[in-house]
């Protein structure tokens, strides 16, 4: 991956439940031509999730095979499951000339920062820790034990925001999406 190309890699990170996905959907509506990298995970699909669309759902063995083969740009264990960005997902899109967006947790974002220093990383923060807790509790897609685990992880993840140059507070979706779009537009203009 060349230096110049990595300016066209956008890492959207932040705690689970902060609304990364919603902001990214708004970003795609505002800026045409962006492509989302489909991550691999060992987590089981939630109702409605499709293999190859929402994630590449892998068994732990398949995931480990890819790790050994050097297939991941980054990978991490999150809340007991493994997640990773496949190099092929990112490369294919960059080669087609499309800027690529990664929606990943903090450990992975740090690895991308090391591997691709020119990638643009944005941390999405909640208005308050309580607001994040509320969101996670009301999402209702996880078991109570899973939820507790995610809440603890989210508290630790919040501390990581100080490592990122761009921090966007998701207090109001429209406003936060505009701010994210502005960061991406500026970086794309610089990369031209
Ligand atoms: P979920 O299980 O809720 O879909 O995702 C849990 C967390 O893993 C979220 O913070 C999500 O952004 C993150 N995640 C999704 N894909 C990847 C990936 O490829 N790498 C890393 N490091 N984190 C990911």
pLDDT at 109: 97
Give the CB-side neighbour count of residue 15, counting CA atoms within 13 A.
Answer: 29
Q: In angstroms, what is the span from residue 105 Cα to ligand 1's centroid?
A: 5
pLDDT at 1: 56
Token pair recorded at residue 11? 């890492």
Which ranges in the chain belong to alpha helices (H)?
A: 3-6, 20-30, 60-68, 87-95, 106-115, 129-139, 144-158, 173-191
Q: In angstroms, what is the span from residue 146 Cα to ligand 1's centroid?
A: 14
Token pair recorded at residue 132? 């994040």
CB 185 within 8 A of CB 7: no
d(Cα 54, Cα 74) in Å, to the nearest integer? 18
pLDDT at 3: 46
Q: In angstroms, what is the span from residue 97 Cα to ligand 1's centroid?
A: 25
Residues with CB under 6 A from ligand 1: 16, 20, 39, 43, 74, 76, 78, 83-85, 103-105, 107-108
Please name the residue that has the structure tokens 């807790």.
Answer: 133
pLDDT at 185: 97
pLDDT at 182: 98
Candidate from 11, 78, 116, 143 with most ligand 1 atoms within 8 A of CB, to mutate: 78
pLDDT at 148: 85
d(Cα 104, Cα 65) in Å, to the nearest integer? 21
Contacts 24+ apart (CB under 8 A), 43-48: 43/81, 43/83, 46/141
Tens place of pLDDT per residue across the chain (192 aa): 554 566 799 999 999 889 999 999 999 999 999 999 999 999 999 999 999 999 999 999 999 999 999 999 999 999 899 999 999 999 999 999 999 999 999 999 999 999 999 999 999 999 998 898 888 888 777 788 888 888 888 889 999 999 999 999 999 999 999 999 999 999 999 887
Q: In angstroms, what is the span from residue 70 Cα to ligand 1's centroid?
A: 19
Ligand 1 atom nearest the C-alpha of 109 is: 22
pLDDT at 9: 97
Q: How many helices (H) and strands (E) does the chain have?
A: 8, 9
User: 159: closest CA among 104, 102, 107?
Assistant: 107
Token pair recorded at residue 98? 């499309």
The residue whose CA is least distant from atom 2 of ligand 1 is 43
């Amino acid at each position: 991956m060349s230096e110049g190309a990595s300016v066209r890699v956008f890492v959207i990170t932040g705690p689970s439940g902060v609304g990364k996905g919603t902001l990214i959907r708004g970003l795609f509506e505002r800026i045409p031509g962006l492509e989302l990298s489909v991550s691999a995970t060992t987590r089981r699909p939630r109702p409605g999730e499709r293999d190859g669309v929402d994630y590449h759902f892998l068994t732990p063995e398949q995931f480990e095979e890819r790790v050994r083969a050097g297939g991941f740009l980054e990978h991490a264990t999150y809340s007991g499951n493994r997640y990773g960005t496949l190099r092929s997902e990112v490369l294919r899109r960059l080669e087609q000339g499309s800027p690529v967006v990664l929606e990943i947790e903090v450990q992975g974002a740090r690895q991308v920062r090391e591997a691709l220093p020119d990638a643009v990383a944005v941390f999405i923060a909640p208005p308050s820790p309580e607001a994040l807790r509320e969101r996670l509790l009301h999402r209702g897609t996880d078991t109570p034990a899973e939820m507790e685990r995610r809440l603890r992880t989210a508290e630790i993840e919040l501390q990581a925001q100080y490592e990122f140059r761009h921090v966007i507070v998701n207090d109001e979706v429209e406003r936060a999406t505009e701010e994210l779009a502005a960061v991406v537009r500026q970086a794309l203009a610089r990369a031209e």
